């Protein structure tokens, strides 16, 4: 999907949703970046006026239901987040719980219990929560990604109660940036859930991009490696 160029100020304000979860790490990583011709100011977002200052947004990992619930108790915030997530001009990156929130209407519930609406930031993506198992089944996997800086060095991706892509609609037009090596793939979700049939070929798609939107089912902000943050800022925020 092609990105429409937009006017960006010299100092780009990137908000990190700071209602719950691993937000401070994202702020620290973003503050380390030095993109050409721009300065990044990373700020925590807890209110609507704070969100309104931002050109781009990170939705961190944590607990998607808790993040959504706290946002819904903050005046005007949930509606504005949904609008921001869907606006093709705004760069948004969802990590883990943030990826669940960027999924479609059926994404959050995983189909097992009640289904809760996602924010539809990606459009055409259904996810299944906790498909890899509990906290105890957390794991790390090396990802080889040609489009990262220093591509010969694998990126150590950390998965903590991660979601998996259940299925992508043919219209979703996402770009797969990284795929999980086969030995780490989760068991497929049931065929007869309210989410419909999963697409097993989509299960290992752990890093997706669509225009200025990006999702990762792992936690790059815990890896000690800023290259995924660098990628998002260059490709999605700056669009270059």
Ligand X SMILES: NC(=O)CC[C@H](N)C(=O)O
Is 28 designated active site? Answer: no
**Residue 86, annotated as binding a ligand:** no
Backbone φ and ψ for 230, nearest 5 degrees, come out as -60, -45
**Running DSSP on this structure, what letter comes out for residue 221?**
G
**Residue 240, annotated as binding a ligand:** no
Query: Which of residues 64 and 223 has its CB atom nearest to ligand X in the complex?
Result: 64
The two three-digit tokens of residue 94, written as one number: 């969802």
What are the b/e assignments for 183-208, b being 16+ CB within 10 Å? Answer: ebbbeebeeebebeebeeebbbbbbb
Residue 64: its H or E element:
helix 64-72
**Residue 224, annotated as binding a ligand:** no
Min dist CB 177 to ligand X, Å, is: 19
Alpha carbon separation from 5 to 12, 112, 213 (Å, rounded): 15, 41, 14
Residues lying near ligand X in the complex (CB under 6 A) are found at 61-64, 96-97, 100, 129-130, 160-161
Query: Which of residues 12 and 164 has its CB atom nearest to ligand X in the complex?
Result: 164
Contact 61, 21 (CB under 8 A): yes
**Residue 169, annotated as binding a ligand:** no
Query: Which of residues 69 and 74 has its CB atom nearest to ligand X in the complex?
Result: 69
Options 26, 54, 166, 221, the catalytic residue:
221
Min dist CB 127 to ligand X, Å, is: 9
Is 221 designated active site? Answer: yes
Known binding-site positions for L-glutamine: 62-64, 129, 160-161
- As annotated, the active-site residues are 96, 219, 221
Known binding-site positions: 62-64, 129, 160-161
């Amino acid at each position: 999907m092609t990105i429409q160029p937009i006017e960006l100020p010299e100092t780009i304000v990137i908000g990190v949703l700071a209602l719950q979860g691993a937000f401070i790490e994202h702020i620290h990583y973003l503050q380390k970046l030095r993109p050409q011709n721009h300065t990044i100011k990373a700020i925590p977002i807890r209110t609507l006026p704070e969100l309104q200052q931002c050109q781009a947004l990170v939705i961190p990992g944590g607990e998607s239901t808790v993040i959504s619930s706290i946002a819904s108790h903050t005046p005007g915030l949930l509606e504005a987040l949904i609008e921001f997530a869907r606006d093709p001009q705004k760069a948004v990156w969802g990590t883990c719980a943030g990826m669940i929130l960027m999924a479609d209407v059926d994404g959050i519930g995983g189909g097992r219990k009640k289904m809760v609406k996602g924010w539809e930031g990606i459009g055409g993506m259904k996810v299944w929560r906790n498909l890899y198992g509990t906290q105890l089944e957390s794991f790390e996997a090396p990802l080889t990604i040609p489009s990262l800086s220093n591509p010969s060095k694998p990126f150590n991706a950390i998965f903590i109660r991660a979601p998996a892509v259940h299925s992508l609609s043919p219209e979703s037009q996402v770009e797969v940036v990284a795929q999980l090596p086969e030995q780490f793939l989760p068991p497929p979700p049931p065929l007869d859930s309210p989410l419909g049939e999963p697409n097993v070929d989509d299960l290992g798609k752990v890093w997706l991009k669509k225009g200025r939107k990006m999702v990762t089912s792992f936690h790059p902000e815990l890896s000690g490696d800023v290259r995924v943050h660098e990628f998002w800022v260059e490709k999605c925020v700056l669009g270059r």
